Amino acid sequence: MLLYDTRSEIENIVAGAILEGSQDHCTAVRNSLCRSFATSTVVKTNFESNAIIKKEQAVFIENYCTEHSLWLENIPEESRYLTRGGEAKIYLSPDNRHVIKLNDAIYYATWLEFLNSVLLHNLVFTNTSYRLLGFLNQNNVLYAALEQLFVVATDQADLIDIKEFLEYNGFDHVRRNDYANKKLGLILEDMHDENVLVNSETLFFIDSVFYTVSPQ
C-alpha cells in the first residue's frame, strides 16, 4: 500500500507542481522544465504535434546541462555493453553492482513526461529506483543516463504475482499488461515478465512506463 507521503508526492507530480526538498538531478531538471512547460494529462494524443515541444525541451535540457555541468563525462565503454531494451541501451556499471541505461525517451511525447515517469518509478518501486547521472548527446540524439541496481533473476516473474502486487498498491488491471490508478491519475504500461524480475521471491520492477492523466 502506498504511504500517504508517497501519494502526496505523486499528486504533486501529476499536477505539475514544483517538488520541494529533493536535491537529486532528476527532480532539479524536472522542476526547471515545469517552470516553462505544462505537464501532459492526455496520453499519446497529439504525439506528433508534441514533437516540437519535445525538441524545445531537449534544447532546454542541453542548456541546463551546460549551465549546471550535467553533461556525462565518462561515457560507458562498449566492453560494458549488455543489451538494448525498447528504449534504452544498457551497460554494466564499473562497480559491477549497477547498470547504466542510456534512454532517449522515445516512448514519451515530451522530456517532461519522461522525467515524471522516472520520478514516479522511484516512488512506487523503491527497490529499483533510478539515479540520474547526467545527459549525453550521441549523433545528435539526446540521452539521459540512469543508474539502477543490477538485479539477477533467480526465477521468472508470474503475471498473477505482478497483478496482485500492483492491485495492492491501488493499480487496476486495464488490459494485457497495462494498469491504471484513476484516483492518482496514473497509467502504468508494460508490466510483463521481462520488465519485472524475481530474486529470492521478491519482485523487482526494473522497467516501467508511467503516464499522467487527470485524476478521477
The per-residue pLDDT for range 68-102, each reduced to its tens digit, is 999 998 888 999 999 987 789 999 999 999 999 99
**Given strand 81-84, what is the order of strands in its sheet?**
81-84, 88-92, 98-103, 141-149, 131-138
Co-location of 102 and 190 in the same domain:
no
Mean pLDDT score, 192-209: 96
pLDDT of residue 176: 94
Cell numbers of 94, please? Answer: 564499473
Which of 105, 132, 149 terminates a domain? The answer is: 149
Domains identified in the chain, total number: 2
Is the pLDDT at 46 greater than 80, yes or no?
no
- How many percent of the chain have pLDDT more than 90? 84
* Structure confidence at residue 152 (pLDDT): 95
Contacts with 55 (C-beta within 8 Å, 6 or more apart), sequence order: none
> Can you tell me the distance from the alpha carbon of 25 to that of 141, in angstroms, rounded to the nearest whole number?
20
Does 208 lie in the same domain as 113?
no
Mean of the per-residue pLDDT values for the chain?
A: 93
pLDDT at 134 over 80: yes
Label residue 43 by pLDDT band (50, 70, 90): low
User: Is residue 99 located within the same domain as residue 17?
Assistant: yes
Domain that holds residue 201: 155-212
Query: CB 53: neighbour CB atoms within 10 A?
Result: 18
Encode pLDDT of 147-179 as tens digits. Answer: 999 999 999 999 999 999 999 999 999 999 999
Owner of C-alpha cell 546541462: 65
61 and 145 part of one domain: yes
Do 65 and 163 lie in a common domain?
Answer: no
